[in-house]
Amino acid sequence: MAAADNLDEALRQRWSDTPFPAGKDDDLAAFGAALAPGNNIVLTETIRGTREQVIGQLVLLPGAATLPPAARPLLHIHASLAGMSMYRSGIAERIRLSSSVFQNALEGIVITDPLGRIIDISPSFTHLTGYSRDEAIGQTMNLMKSGRHDVQFYRDMWAHLLEHGRWSGEVWNRTRDGRIIAEILQISSVKDKQGQISNFVGTFSDITSLKDAQAHLEKIASFDSLTGLPNRGLLADRLTQALSQAQRRDKLLAICFLDLDGFKAVNDTLGHAAGDALLREVARRLNETVRSGDTVARLGGDEFVLLLADVKDVDELETAVERVLRTVAAPYDLSGRMAQISTSIGVTLYPLDDDDAEALLRHADQAMYRAKQDGRNRFHMFDTDYAAAHHERVLQRDRLRLAVEQQELVLYYQPRVALRGQRVEGVEALLRWRHPEKGLLAPASFLPDIEHDDLICGIGAWVLREALAQQRRWREQGVTLAVSVNVAARQFLDPRFMPTLETLLAEFSDRPEGGVELEILESAAIEDTERMVKVIDQCHKLGVRFALDDFGTGYSSMSYFKRLQVNTLKIDQSFVKDLLSDEGDRAIIEGMISLAHAFGRDVVAEGVETPEIGRTLVRLGCSLAQGYGIARPMPAGELPGWAASWQGEAGWRFPAD
């Protein structure tokens, strides 16, 4: 609401331009007098727009003068004029605002005629596409066609636009400099008063960076970052598709599970960078070996999976797998350092193995472990008998975990004696399982099932602690004995082994000097000799002795034996039991004893059953022995009494040194 004086002045300024009906001079003069300075009036009139909507009020405030009858029409005319003026002002403001939006919008804007010819573009259109206004006007949107969409794509777009009046979606377009960009595009139709399309208006934004980021995230989610191969998630999708295709085509699908032989030794010896380079080269070779429609995936570590589709028969499969074996086994040049590995492959064939995707991978994995057991660098086909046995081993492993929790494991001790000195030299700690249903079980009946499982590391740590604790209890009873403990290869090479050993030795620091000996199998030592040598050296620094068990059953050699700084060589019982009747075994034992003496090692014969075998061993130069003929493994509580009685057994008394 304006002040009265200002309103009066505004009306006076409009007075001379306002037409009045003829013959109303008196009323007009009276109205003019009413508007004279100093007089106030009271009258209102609604100001309306072109569509009769209320947009304001014209108000005359109360005064002393009396208004003539013509005042109301006059005021109505002025209200109409004010309404039109305000409407025109609003239109001008909206036009100015629309123009500002068009000129300053970040999105590209393009306006076309009904035939799709460009009649106007926004500055952002030029910024995003590189086309100037002069270059774009008169052209169609084909100007930016990328070639990534087929004809049907555009047909569907225009059909939807004409039917619904708008279309939105993602398109790939080409900029003036040839770049392909991704756009989010919206197109709307504009109709005239007759309802006919007069224009199309398109707005778009460049989302190329978002698409690139999306593609990168999809690659991270679906592909192995080291090798670029499909990872486990993408493999699952590919396998599901391959199974469907095999069903439709009535073809065989081979699922091959690969595990590299000797990769860990390369990784530990040459370093992780060399190991990564080796994995990348394996991935490259595998990709080059299979067909374009096949899949090579990496599950992690040194495990790979091949999906070989459209296999005609088993002969064709064997040819393909043999080619993979040869390819992987070829030497590798890792920045000037040569390495050589092989692979063990497990294979299952669908639909001969008619199971789901998860089970098929599991079957191929089981077959791969069978290939490992059979000697490595080979493949093994999945079979149901082996699968059933594997299932039993899994159940056994789970039951053994429960046995650990329920303290069903115990240690028995087998004495090791000096044949000439008639004394107990020490004991070997041997694991037993007090099974609630099956009774006392020897380690051969359950340890092989966990040879490659972390469970064996936990059990091994328990055995070592229990043996050291028992050694302390015997000393408290006045019996001092060295204790020998078997260590599995997986436990021995586990990074946690040395910290665990150091902690235990610190806890049992009152042990007798040289009273702890660790036994490792010769076959396990050969598997990763470099790592074995390092760990043995660390153990020697802690005062721990080492024995090489089952010597002669592996790949013994002079250089190998020299590198392993063990204190004791144990002759396997397979040679000892026929010592008296087999000249070959006798010759082997003589050679072993001579080798051990040459390198300053002690020698222990296992499996000694009779005094006659003992006397022969003494004559050959081996005076340390253990076996059932001397004593069977026994509970810890029985050993002190047995040790006292052993010294008096005449049958085992040999001349002292």
Q: What is the CATH number of domain 395-647?
A: 3.20.20.450
Over residues 44-102, the pLDDT tens digits come to 667 676 666 666 666 655 454 555 665 567 667 766 776 676 666 666 667 676 667 77
Candidates 575, 491, 501; CA nearest to 528 is: 491
Number of Cβ within a 10 Å radius of residue 294: 20
DSSP SS3 for 3 = coil
Over residues 126-180, the pLDDT tens digits come to 999 999 989 999 998 888 999 999 999 999 999 999 999 999 999 999 999 999 9
pLDDT of residue 212: 83
| pLDDT of 23 above 70 | no
Q: Are 291 and 359 contacting, i.e. CB atoms less than 8 angstroms apart? A: no
**Long-range pairs of 324-330 with CB within 8 A, sequence gap ≥ 24:** 324/256, 324/258, 324/286, 324/289, 324/290, 325/377, 325/378, 325/379, 327/285, 327/286, 327/288, 327/289, 328/258, 328/260, 328/282, 328/285, 328/286, 329/377, 330/285
Candidates 24, 58, 26, 59; CA nearest to 40 is: 59
Over residues 235-290, the pLDDT tens digits come to 999 999 999 999 888 889 999 999 999 999 898 889 999 999 999 999 999 999 99
| 194-200 average pLDDT score | 91
Residue type, 441: L
Tokens 């080291």 label which residue?
A: 226
Torsion sign across C-alpha atoms 210, 212, 216, 221: positive
DSSP SS3 for 32 = helix
DSSP H/E element including 527: helix 522-527
Average pLDDT of the residues of the chain: 84
Which pair of tokens denotes residue 455?
């469970």
Q: Are 70 and 27 contacting, i.e. CB atoms less than 8 angstroms apart? A: yes
Q: What percent of the chain has pLDDT over 70?
A: 81
**What CA–CA distance (Å, rounded) separates 607 from 613?**
10
Which range has the worst mean pLDDT, 73-82, 107-116, 285-294, 494-503? 73-82
pLDDT of residue 8: 44
pTM: 0.49
| Domain locations along the chain | 4-102, 105-211, 227-382, 395-647
Query: Hey, what CATH topology would domain 227-382 get?
Result: Alpha-Beta Plaits (3.30.70)
Q: What percent of the chain has pLDDT over 90?
A: 53
Phi-psi region of 596 (alpha: psi -120 to 50; beta: other; left: phi over 0): alpha
Q: What is the CATH number of domain 105-211?
A: 3.30.450.20
